[in-house]
Structures are given as structure tokens and as C-alpha cells.
A = this chain, B = another copy of it.
């Protein structure tokens, strides 16, 4: 028996919205939810905001990501940016655009994934509003908000020499997952069985969102979400702070050489991309929150050498969407 597809073109905007909204639980701070011109969220300190798009082709493929994983990842990567300021996520808006022959059930699965990631990674946060439209490929933009709750944001620019460098989260796994997907595109189930940690990190990452607030409370001097590769993002933090970050291959190997059964090389840790962990610097006498491990130290700046490995310059490498993306489209 063939099960009939039910597409967004057949359903129309109102029915699609009804089905998508049914998958969502309200955000705690929500005062006015979906259905008016805007959502309204209770203010609780200064507003933190970030936005990130994922586009079918360069950013994901539907033969790799399920709808649920895609929704999960969309929420996770944005929540991670909010956490990296030392803020508490309070809400998301989601702009989804898709071809008219997209199945409504795919959008429902995306909504389920968005909701589940909020509940697990940032309890109290939820989808507060959005937009539906048509596009040649599935296109999703999430904007995430958070509240500073009276704290000062932890910027990239606050690291000083002799601070320690610490990291929380998966490191290098997502990049390994992506390279396995590209190399062996034919066998998703088999890959998931052989490389479970790497595939999960790529398809549905679990950033340590709540550790952002913990790091802020522990006195982190600088912090950022690592999304383009540890060495590339470290170079950005180093430049913003006017310092050099010196990673220790021994400390990296000890802490991240085996992650849930997946072996990861130091080079993979430094260049992977899409880790969505927290890179933070702390004063040398700080008590690190559980979940952070020391992986290096902050040094005086060296000209054109923002990143060192074991005291020697390391060329920062990572992801540039306009240059790197294997499927980056031209017209």
C-alpha cells in the first residue's frame, strides 16, 4: 500500500502552521506566542541575540539529516552561541522556506527536533515565532535570544597573558563525521553503526550550552563558540584579545584523543569545524566548572602568530562558507 504524500503546496500556509505549531511547547518567558505580528518575551536583563542559517546543499543534505536531526542541529548551533556569551537562552524564531512539494511531515519533524533540543540543551527556552515561505531548496534561519540576567557578557576580547585556555564539549568529532559522510555517501546506517559518536556530533550535536553561564560565573575572561575549527576560532579570540593562544598537544590528546570510542588526532581537533563547544580563557587561579578541561595557556602576542601548538606557530585552518563548502553553489 502506498502512503500518499501530503505536501505544503496542498496544505497551504494555515494548515502547515497549525501542524508545525502543534509540535512546539511554549518558552517559559513567552508573553505573546506565535499568531500575532510579533512574539513578546519577558525581559530579564540585557538582550543577547544571534542568527544562523542552514541551507540544503552547502549546509546539509536531506539524505544525511533526518528532519528531527536538522531541527535539533538548527536549535543547537544557535543556543551554543547564546551560551558562549554567558547568557541564558530564552527563545528562538525560525524562518523556514521550502519547495511547494515538500512533505508537511518533514516540517513537523524539524519542529519536533527544534523543540527537543531546546528542552534538553536549554530548558525553559522554546520557539516563540517564525515565518514560512517558498524557496528552491530547504532553507532555515534560526535567531536565538538570551538574557544576561544582570551579568556582563563574556566577550572574545578579554583574554590576557598567563590565563589558562580551556574547552568544553566535543572536539573534532563533527569534522570526522562530515568527512565519513562525504567519503562513504552510500551507507548512512552502516556509518552510524561504525562511527556513532562522530555521526551524532555532525548530525545532531549536543553543545554544552549551560556551561556558558557556569564559565561566566567562574570568572572566564574570554569565551566563544567553536564553529569553524578550533585553530581558526582561537585565532579570532587571540586577535580580539591581542594575545597568542598556545595549545598543548599532550593535554589535547589526553582529554580528547578518545571521545566515546572515536579516536581523534590533535590535527583533527584543531581543524575540524562544527564542534560547537566552548573555548574559554580563565585566570590561572580560577576553579574551572566541571566539563571544562585545560588545553593550553595564553601567551604574549607574537606578530602574525595568533595560535601556537606546543610553543610553535600553527597555521589556523577551518571553514569559510564562500571558499570551503564542497557544495557551495554558483548560479
Contacts and interface: CB of A to CB of B under 8 A. Distances in A.
Given A36-B224, A322-B13, A93 B55 contact: no
Task: State the oligomeric state as a number of copies.
Answer: 2
Given A36-B224, A43-B46, A100-B330, 7 more contacts: A11-B322, A16-B322, A42-B46, A43-B47, A101-B330, A134-B322, A134-B328
A148 B43 CA distance: 10
A291 interface: no
Contact of A141 (B31, B141, B325): B141
Contacts of A38: 48-50, 81-82, 84-85, 87, 146, 153
Interface of A: 8-9, 11-14, 16, 31-32, 35-53, 55, 57-59, 81-82, 84-85, 87, 91, 93-95, 97, 99-101, 128-137, 139, 141, 143, 145-148, 153, 155-156, 224-225, 240, 320-323, 325, 328-331
A137 B134 contact: no
B97 A320 contact: no
Given A141-B95, A329-B99, A59 B321 contact: no
A36 B155 contact: yes
A95 B53 contact: yes
B328 A9 contact: yes
Contacts of A36: 85, 153, 155-156, 224, 240
A148 to B, nearest CB: 7
Contact of A39 (B35, B37, B44, B49): B49
Contact of A133 (B47, B58, B95): B58
Nearest to A85: B38
A330 B9 contact: yes
A121 B97 CA distance: 27
Given A100-B322, A321-B132, A328-B100, A51 B94 contact: yes
7 contacts: A38-B48, A38-B85, A51-B129, A51-B131, A55-B134, A100-B330, A134-B321
Given A32-B155, A36-B224, A41-B47, A53 B97 contact: yes
Contact of A99 (B85, B87, B323, B330): B330
Residue among A50, A139, A141 facing the most chain B CB atoms (10 A cut-off): A141
Given A38-B49, A224-B37, A321-B13, A55 B100 contact: no
